Amino acid sequence: MKKFLITGGAGFIGSHVVRRFVNTYPDYNIVNLDKLTYAGNLANLKDLEDKPNYRFVKGDIVDQQFIDELFETEQFDAVIHLAAESHVDRSITNPIEFVLTNVVGTVNLLNSARKFWKGRYEECRFYHVSTDEVYGTLGEDGLFTEETPYDPHSPYSASKASSDHFVRAYHDTYGLNTVISNCSNNYGSYHFPEKLIPLAINNIKNSKAVPVYGKGENVRDWLWVEDHARAIDVVFHKARAGDTYNIGGHNEWKNIDLIRLLCRIMDRKLGRAEGTSEKLITFVTDRAGHDLRYAIDSTKLQRELGWSPSLQFEEGLEKTVDWYLANEEWLNNVTSGKYQEYYSQQYKL
């Protein structure tokens, strides 16, 4: 397989996946298709601009004709699909965007793959990148496995669950060679500061209130983004057609404990007295329908395909803080203009 379409490659995880594939596989030609929404940023891929096996195309996966034309001219053999509306809070405010991009956009890509790959389904692969949020929420115990029934609660997770179902349906009905992975929360460089970790880093840096929803008791399972990109690489190359893998860090943190750890790291890095940043923690109204706990059992991926996470969380978080402090220009650019509007509407702080 030589000709790849990666969608959403200008976003957080997509940029790491594109970087990994472009640099690891010089014989793969990679087209990165991205609409460049508020979350897409070509500055995430500056180091790849001159690579001979990489090309950026601006476009919308909701436009079926455009996707068909791209498949026709580029003759892809593989799709790694990451383009999505990805933020739960935005899905609560504006669900229809999530239906369009996450559901309709995914079905459009499946339709093009089905049409242009006719007669060679076995050699072409459609990889759909999904989330653990499709499984709903856990109580105090237990882990999500690949057998956990889907039970999404937010418009975001409902749209991702729907897209997963369509991908499976195209495998079961038409025989398309599909693979799905469901990953836990990612963190690392190029993460847009609307999500918890980069938002908190930016606010602590600027000595602004750090909003924690409810009592900060919700638990997430955090994975370093480059470990996710490596898992996608392994799953893409080794999984059986129609299979699913869960990807996670075995790294559960209550939001409030995570934020306290981040405050301590930031105090140290910024030369502030211990305890300074913790004073910024501000408990705010809880998110509607807020899932209590996510935690992934990635035994299948570890056992069958030999993947495991590489970084301890403290080390990864420290690397992440270092990246944001060293990339002030990137952070200032993405938090100017429209971000300020979003922030004041969302938080009223």
Residue number with CB closer to ligand NAD (37 or 64): 37
DSSP 129-177: EEEGGGG--B-SS--B-TTSPP---SHHHHHHHHHHHHHHHHHHHH---
Beta partners for 138?
293
**Separation of alpha carbons 318 and 231, rounded Å:** 22
Q: Provide the minimum distance between the beta carbon of 214 and ligand TYD in the complex, in angstroms, as a whole number.
A: 7
- Assess 195 for contact with ligand TYD (CB under 6 A): yes
**276: which 2 tokens?**
């300074």
- Assess 45 for contact with ligand NAD (CB under 6 A): no
Residue number with CB closer to ligand NAD (34 or 77): 34
- Assess 159 for contact with ligand TYD (CB under 6 A): no
Q: Choose among 247, 189, 145: nearest CA to 13.
A: 189
Residue number with CB closer to ligand NAD (186 or 203): 186
Q: Exactly one of 34, 77, 133, 252 is catalytic; which is it?
A: 133
* Residue 78, binding choice from ligand TYD, ligand NAD, none, Cβ under 5 to 8 Å by partner class: none
Residue number with CB closer to ligand TYD (103 or 281): 281
Q: What are phi and psi of 13, to 5 degrees?
A: -70, -40
Which DSSP symbol is given to 76?
A: -
Q: Provide the minimum distance between the beta carbon of 291 and ligand TYD in the complex, in angstroms, as a whole number.
A: 7
132 labelled catalytic? yes
**Separation of alpha carbons 28 and 22, rounded Å:** 7
Site string for ligand NAD, 58-87 (x = CB under 6 A): --xxx-------------------xxxxx-
41 to 100, contacts with ligand TYD by CB under 6 A? 88
194 labelled catalytic? no
Between vectors from CA 248 to CA 304 and to CA 229, what angle results, nearest 5°? Answer: 80
Q: Pick from 218, 251, 320, 335 the residue near ligand TYD by CB under 6 A.
A: 218
> How buried is 288 (Cβ within 10 angstroms: 0-12 exposed, 13-18 middle, 19+ buried)?
exposed
Residue numbers annotated as active site = 132-133, 156
- Contact residues for ligand TYD, defined by CB under 6 A: 88, 185, 195-196, 199, 211-213, 218, 220, 255, 287
